[in-house]
Structure 1
């Protein structure tokens, strides 16, 4: 069966790629991230060529001409500070690196992911400029805010998904409809008590105590963050009690954060995947990732759109 060959930028531990591969329609053949631990984790489950280091050092020639798709959850540092005439300037170099590779390789399509705030930064100007940028490079860009909780990911996690399809073949794209919700009980209720070494034991900061951090077993989790100290509370913890605006305290009982294994399960990573690095690094890789189940739902629709376009245009896809 033909599969779309994927080059993955800002790949992290591979949440987006795991989801795409779960559809049976995609195969990641090249991946890059500056986080060495994340690259080692990625290599544990993938046969792709994984190159650690800054994306600025990746030449388009380093990536095979046989790739069909580019993916990248590009960080958005710099966007909110950019002026209206410089919204795609050097301060947003990570986005520009993704754009550079896409322009050079001219894949049939691409998928990118970003934070909810991308839709409102500079009054929406940033997103409009991104749409214009890719249009000038030959792509139609589709974007929608999705909550991972609607796609069998047991956490509230709103992210903007960007899907680009080359204009010469594009026949349209529709984002997936919700596939259902699962609770924390269903996701991690069967987990045994963790080893204390697998749980962040850092003190709870004033920032942490500024809002509620706990959801119950019959709910979905708050967003899994990348910073270990900010990881949300396990449902077995006592409820937090509000004292004042932006001030909460813990109730009586044993309070603990999710272990890294529980956080990974809430993100819908395979339970068998062992993350590389120390505890802080593991939490970081997990929190930075696109939930595989969300990526899988988008991947099915993406493959459907591409197959329709390729069938009509009779464009050959690499086997």
Structure 2
């Protein structure tokens, strides 16, 4: 490939954690950003202004993704892709459609729910616009629940019919260094046009070979499970606890609170104050995080999945309050320079944080994709990638 970066069209971007993971590898250029909720887009733009990241070439659009399937909108998309390919750029679509309809703890309406339908729309847009590759992210319920798995398989069949070779894995963000137990299904596909001549496009069932899911993981699940994580302990307001031996300190909540200097972070004072229930806050032990709600984090363990909607309350390990926005950002492994603008409501701040792909997981996935593309180029013995027109 030339020095030009791989072009990315981002959908359901939220606050842009997934995009940031791709951008900070130095190998990708986010060209277009779509998000339905204006407040989330305001966070996206405000955070990137603070990070001094240049805006996307084709702009930010607050719009329902279904609009892009209309003939006039689709033509614009295809023209943009054609223009970028003339500059020897590969084009990728990335996105995680809203997932409550596939979540075991959510609405569970599947592909018939308003959010569930958007997964099908995203796949339809991929099949129609034919980027060189795509990434699809969603909750494990889409992958593991029988009633939703059928829909997942039907989407994969549509992608295969459109010329994509697919690979999938149920990942856990903690494997990439994020201090969070968060499982998500990741589906990645590469179009046959860029695979020709490499032997990776010979599979009759369109399963991709040679893609290394493990290359950019930081920790193995075996090593994480073998660590001597502390048990639940009585809550001590502002009390100190020494870090136990034989844990992976870099995966702990406290490590990330310290790393991001959450007390002095611009979002450090953004947290919900209870109208009542302080007594309950004081009664829950440190590390008691198995309940549906009112989970108290343990400072020397990693967090359960960051999900701050649907009345799910996460409590600070040693303060009698809910966690702050700065602390939630740290749990999502964001760099401390990532700041949410002050005018955003607390509800929107926490909702977009809980929706986002942990930054370090996003970065690891982005590197997996660029590593694979580099291997394809090496097999073809080429230095640039002027892709053929999509069929």
1:16-95 matches, within 5 Å, as 16-44=18-46, 45=48, 46=53, 47-48=55-56, 49-58=59-68, 59-63=73-77, 64-65=80-81, 66=84, 68-76=91-99, 78=101, 80-81=108-109, 92-95=116-119
TM-score (norm 2): 0.68
Q: Take 2:292 and 2:386, find their aligned partners in 1: how far apart are those partners?
A: 55
Match 1:200 to one of 264, 269, 272: 272
Q: Take 2:28 and 2:130, find their aligned partners in 1: how far apart are those partners?
A: 17
Measure how far apart 1:91 and its partner are: 7.7
Match status 1:176 vs 2:186: no
Q: Take 2:169 and 2:24, find their aligned partners in 1: how far apart are those partners?
A: 22
Measure how far apart 1:41 and its partner are: 2.0
For the Cα contact (< 8 Å) 2:294–2:313, is it kept in 1? no
Measure how far apart 1:211 and its partner are: 5.2
Match status 1:263 vs 2:328: yes
Measure how far apart 1:234 and its partner are: 1.2
Measure how far apart 1:61 and its partner are: 3.3
Q: Please give the per-residue CA displacement for 1:171-214, whole angstroms capped at 9, x wherever unaligned.
A: 331213530352112100353278885111245899x9655612
Match 1:233 to one of 287, 295, 315: 315
Aligned residues: 296
Q: Take 1:99 and 1:229, find their aligned partners in 2: how far apart are those partners?
A: 31
Q: Please give the per-residue CA displacement for 1:2-34, whole angstroms capped at 9, x wherever unaligned.
A: 311000000111111100111111111101011
Question: Which stretch has the larger CA shift, 174-183 or 281-290?
Answer: 174-183
Q: Take 1:110 and 1:162, find their aligned partners in 2: how far apart are those partners?
A: 8
1:132-151 matches, within 5 Å, as 132-151=157-176
For the Cα contact (< 8 Å) 1:6–1:68, is it kept in 2? yes
In structure 1, stretches of 5+ residues that fail to align are 238-254
SS of equivalent to 2:33: strand
In structure 2, the partner of 1:162 is 187
Q: Take 1:88 and 1:306, find their aligned partners in 2: how far apart are those partners?
A: 35
SS of equivalent to 2:251: coil
For the Cα contact (< 8 Å) 2:293–2:314, is it kept in 1? no
SS of equivalent to 1:198: coil
In structure 1, the partner of 2:287 is none
Q: Please give the per-residue CA displacement for 1:22-53, whole angstroms capped at 9, x wherever unaligned.
A: 11111111010111121122223141111012
Q: Take 1:28 and 1:227, find their aligned partners in 2: how far apart are those partners?
A: 29
Distance 1:135 1:15, change over 3 A: same
Q: Take 2:6 and 2:333, find their aligned partners in 1: how far apart are those partners?
A: 23
Q: Take 1:13 and 1:284, find their aligned partners in 2: how far apart are those partners?
A: 10
For the Cα contact (< 8 Å) 1:176–1:297, is it kept in 2? no
Q: Take 1:91 and 1:217, find their aligned partners in 2: how far apart are those partners?
A: 34
In structure 2, the partner of 1:242 is none
Distance 1:260 1:135, change over 3 A: same
In structure 1, the partner of 2:386 is 316
Q: Take 1:234 and 1:77, find their aligned partners in 2: how far apart are those partners?
A: 25
Match status 1:307 vs 2:374: yes
Q: CA RMSD in A?
A: 2.9
Match 1:279 to one of 339, 346, 349: 346
Measure how far apart 1:105 and its partner are: 2.1
For the Cα contact (< 8 Å) 1:228–1:284, is it kept in 2? no
Measure how far apart 1:88 and its partner are: 8.3
Measure how far apart 1:300 and its partner are: 0.7
TM-score (norm 1): 0.83
